[in-house]
Amino acid sequence: MSKLLVQEKEIVVPGQDLAEGMDYLPGEDVIRDKDKLVSTKLGIVGLSGRLVRIVPLNGPYVPKRGDLVIGKIVGVGIGGWRVNIGWPFEANLSVKDATSDFIEKGSDLSKYFNYGDYIIVEIVNVASSKIIDLSMKGPGLRKLGSGRLITIPATKVPRVIGKQGSMISLVKDYTGCKISVGQNGIIWLKGDEPKKELLAIKAINKIENESHISGLTDRMKEFLEREKNGL
Amino acid sequence: MSNIIREHLLELFSKDFRLDGRKFDQYRDIKVEYGISSRSAEGSARVKIGNTEVLAGVKLELGEPYSDNPDEGTIMVNVELLPLSNPEFESGPPGIEAVELSRVVDRAIREGKALNFKKLCITPKEQMWIVLIDIYPVNDAGNLFDAAALAALAALKDAKFPKIEDGKISYRESTGQKLPLEKLPLSCTVYKIGNYFLVDPVSEEELIVDARLTVGVLEDGTLCSLQKGGDFGLNPEEVDQMVDVAVKKTKELRKVL
Interval A111-130: pLDDT, tens: 889 998 999 999 999 998 78
Q: Assign residue A124 the CATH number of its domain.
A: 2.40.50.140
Number of domains in chain A: 3
Task: Report how far apart, in Å, the C-alpha atoms of B53 and of each of A64, A213, B44, B146, B153 are.
Answer: 36, 30, 14, 11, 15
A2 within some domain: no
Of A116, A149, A194, the CB nearest to B12: A194
The mean predicted confidence, pLDDT, of chain B is 92
A121 within some domain: yes
Question: What range does the domain containing B21 cover?
Answer: 3-254
Contact assessment for residue A208 and residue A84, using Cβ atoms and an 8 Å cutoff = no
- Is pLDDT above 80 for A230? no
Q: Is the ipTM of this complex over 0.90?
A: no
Of B4, B51, B203, B205, which to mutate for an interface test with A (greatest number of A Cβ within 10 Å)?
B4
Domain boundary among A121, A143, A165: A143
User: Among B191, B187, B188, which residue's Cα sits nearest to residue B238?
Assistant: B191
Assess whether A218 and A200 both reside in one domain. yes
Q: Using a CB–CB cutoff of 8 Å, tell me whether B14 touches chain A.
A: no
Q: What are phi and psi of A85, to 5 degrees?
A: -115, 25
A61 within some domain: no
Q: Using a CB–CB cutoff of 8 Å, tell me whether B40 touches chain A.
A: no
Q: Assign residue A26 the CATH number of its domain.
A: 2.40.50.100
Interval B87-105: pLDDT, tens: 889 888 999 999 999 999 9
For residue B210, the one-letter residue type is D
pLDDT band at A99 (very low <50, low <70, confident <90, very high): confident
Q: Calculate how close chain B gets to A212, using CA atoms only, in Å.
A: 24
DSSP string over B164-184: EETTEEEEEEEEEEEP-B---
Q: Using a CB–CB cutoff of 8 Å, tell me whether B21 touches chain A.
A: yes
pLDDT band at B145 (very low <50, low <70, confident <90, very high): very high
Give the pLDDT mean for B36-57. 92
For residue A209, the one-letter residue type is N
Distance CA B9, CA B3 (A): 10
Question: What range does the domain containing A118 cover?
Answer: 68-143
Q: Specify the pLDDT at position B151.
A: 95
- Is pLDDT above 70 for B191? yes
Q: Calculate how close chain A gets to B18, using CA atoms only, in Å.
A: 9
Give the pLDDT mean for A7-34. 91
Q: Assign residue A175 the CATH number of its domain.
A: 3.30.1370.10
User: Among A87, A116, A88, A91, which residue's Cα sits nearest to residue A184?
Assistant: A87
Give the pLDDT mean for A89-104. 89
Question: What DSSP character marks residue B128?
Answer: E
The mean predicted confidence, pLDDT, of chain A is 90
Helical spans, DSSP H, in B24-143: 96-111
Q: Specify the pLDDT at position A104.
A: 83
Interval A42-71: pLDDT, tens: 999 989 888 999 988 888 898 999 999 999
User: Among B197, B232, B174, B202, which residue's Cα sits nearest to residue B58?
Assistant: B174
- Is pLDDT above 90 for A3? no
Number of domains in chain B: 1
Q: Calculate how close chain A gets to B142, using CA atoms only, in Å.
A: 15
Q: What are phi and psi of A146, to 5 degrees?
A: -60, 140
Measured between CA atoms, the residue of chain B closest to residue A86 is B87
In this prediction the pTM is: 0.83
Measured between CA atoms, the residue of chain B closest to residue A146 is B4
Distance CA A99, CA A84 (A): 19
pLDDT higher at B243 or A194: B243
Domain boundary among A143, A165, A193: A143
Q: Specify the pLDDT at position B108.
A: 94
| Angle formed at CA B229 by CA B227 and CA B233, multiple of 5 degrees | 110
Assess whether A138 and A210 both reside in one domain. no
- Is pLDDT above 80 for B164? yes
| Angle formed at CA A114 by CA A113 and CA A116, multiple of 5 degrees | 115
Of A146, A194, A195, the CB nearest to B4: A146
Q: Specify the pLDDT at position B28.
A: 94
Q: Are strands B160-165 and B127-139 parallel, antiparallel or unpaired?
A: unpaired
Q: Calculate how close chain A gets to B254, using CA atoms only, in Å.
A: 30
Interval B106-131: pLDDT, tens: 999 999 999 999 999 999 999 999 99
Q: Specify the pLDDT at position B20.
A: 86
pLDDT band at A194 (very low <50, low <70, confident <90, very high): confident
- Burial, B68: exposed, middle or buried (Cβ in 10 Å; 0-12, 13-18, 19+)? exposed
Q: Assign residue B110 the CATH number of its domain.
A: 3.30.230.70
| Other beta carbons within 10 Å of B82 | 16
pLDDT band at A11 (very low <50, low <70, confident <90, very high): very high
Dihedral sign for Cα B45, B47, B51, B53, please. negative
Of B8, B17, B204, the CB nearest to A146: B8
Q: Check CB contact under 8 Å for A194 and B204.
A: no
A103 within some domain: yes
| B115 Rama class: left (phi>0) / alpha (psi -120 to 50) / beta | beta
Distance CA A218, CA A196 (A): 20
- Is pLDDT above 60 for A133? yes
Q: Specify the pLDDT at position B146.
A: 95
Q: What share of chain B is helix, strand, coil (3-state, %, to 5)?
A: 30, 35, 35
**H or E element at residue B44:** strand B43-49
Q: Specify the pLDDT at position B171.
A: 86
Q: Are strands B121-123 and B127-139 parallel, antiparallel or unpaired?
A: antiparallel
- Is pLDDT above 80 for B69? yes
CB pairs under 8 A between A and B: 37
Which residues does chain B have within 8 Å of residue A149's beta carbon, measured at their own beta carbons?
A: 2, 5
Distance CA A59, CA A186 (A): 14
How many Å from the N-terminal Cα to the C-terminal Cα in chain A? Answer: 60
pLDDT band at B1 (very low <50, low <70, confident <90, very high): low
With both helix axes pointing from N to C terminus, report the angle between A166-175 and A194-209 in degrees, rounded to the nearest 10. 150
Distance CA B113, CA A64 (A): 59
A63 within some domain: no
Contact assessment for residue B207 and residue B228, using Cβ atoms and an 8 Å cutoff = no
Helical spans, DSSP H, in A67-161: 95-98, 157-161
Domain boundary among A116, A143, A170: A143
Greatest pairwise CA separation for chain A in angstroms: 66
Q: Check CB contact under 8 Å for B21 and A72.
A: no
Assess whether A130 and A153 both reside in one domain. no
